[in-house]
Amino acid sequence: MQISDHCPICNSSRLYPYSMKFQPGFPHLSRTGCQDCGIIFANPMASKEELMSFYANYYDKGNFGSLDYKNRVRNKITTIQNGNHSLSKKEKSILTYAPKGNFLDLGFGLGEELALFSQLGFSVFGTEFDQDCIQFIQPILPNATLFQGDLLETGYPDNFFDVIHMYHVIEHLLDPNAYIRELNRILKPGGILIIGTPDIGSAAYKIFRLLNFITLRVPLIVDGLEHTVIFNQKNLSDLIKKNDFDVLDHYSESVGDSFSNIWSSNLSLKKKIVRYLQTFVKINQVIIAKKN
């Protein structure tokens, strides 16, 4: 853990306290806000080594374990490979701008998007810290080119990918600027970048924070160890644009889940209620951009 006196996005020293958590053993004592770019970040922030340890067998523990997430994804992949998958708004947008080519999923998780875009005829590549994720998807997609470790260590060629998918990954990074620059390098001119991430500016976050103030409590941290930097729509868009991308679309979305899946899970009743609310309230954002 390391305490910072400057913003990890714009390097400003004009910081202010944003939220805290007092739960014993909780790794992040506080989150800090930047007065200049508006970013919210963990402070102290976990080191790369601490994050790597946290990600080991990531989908077997916490909420993912309680939701039986691996089996759910395995069933989704079977549906995809049988040709019965309905495309989401995001997936339709990708195909509109880039109907074929090399597809990279950065932090691919259990590989659902890799399976889909392989089925659609793309050559698929993926990076992931968790070896368990690679062992899960590689037998299902033997032709996928997978890399265990950090994107910055892959050595992908310049102008190689037609589509780069980074879904709920940017909020896990220690240096988002470095990754966006690298994505620009390896993406073809006119290539498409898709980023999905929580939106700290969403109504749900704002209401939660307001309720804490009204009840005279210090605003609580609602994210875990792995969430290092949280964006609103403006500062995410600014980060993308300053790295030579044009924003094509930027919209809000909720957590995709069903009542039956949530109710049959091993989540506590409180977590089931929160998860159910998240399927109605749009707490996340998706940005689709094109490299100039």
d(CA 11, CA 230): 15
d(CA 34, CA 175): 15
Structure token pair of residue 85: 């998958």
Query: Domain limits of the chain?
Result: 57-291
Q: What is the pLDDT of residue 43?
A: 87
* 56-92 burial: b if 16+ Cβ within 10 Å, else e: eebbeeebbbebebbebbbeebeebeeeebeeeebbe
d(CA 182, CA 177): 9
Q: What is the pLDDT of residue 265?
A: 63
Instruction: For 87, list phi and psi in degrees, rounded to 5.
Output: -70, 140
Q: What is the pLDDT of residue 269?
A: 66
pLDDT in tens, 36-93: 999 999 888 888 888 888 788 877 876 676 667 788 889 989 999 998 888 888 899 8
Residue 252's identity, in one-letter code, is S
Q: What angle do CA 75, 81, 84 make, to 5 degrees?
A: 80
Q: What is the pLDDT of residue 112?
A: 92
Residue with tokens 């899946």: 261
* Angle, helices 69-81/112-119, rounded to nearest 10 degrees: 0
Q: What is the pLDDT of residue 73?
A: 87
What's the whole-model pTM score?
A: 0.87
- Give residues with Cβ within 8 angstroms of 128, minimum separation 6: 107, 108, 109, 134, 146, 147, 148
Q: What is the pLDDT of residue 226?
A: 78
Q: What is the pLDDT of residue 206?
A: 85
Rounded mean pLDDT for each run of 10 residues along the chain, 292 residues in total: 88 91 65 93 85 81 72 90 88 91 94 93 94 92 94 94 95 93 96 94 84 79 79 95 95 71 62 60 89 93
Structure token pair of residue 269: 């009743």
Q: Please state whether beta strands 187-198 and 284-291 pair in parallel, antiparallel, or not at all (unpaired).
A: antiparallel
Phi-psi region at 57: left, alpha or beta (left = phi > 0; alpha = psi -120 to 50): left
Q: Which CATH number fits domain 57-291: 2.40.40.20, 3.30.70.3040, 3.30.479.10, 3.40.50.150?
A: 3.40.50.150
Q: What is the pLDDT of residue 266?
A: 60
Residue 110's identity, in one-letter code, is L
Phi-psi region at 190: left, alpha or beta (left = phi > 0; alpha = psi -120 to 50): left
pLDDT in tens, 190-209: 999 999 999 998 888 888 88
Whether 132 contacts 59, CB under 8 Å: yes
H-helix or E-strand spanning residue 63? helix 62-66
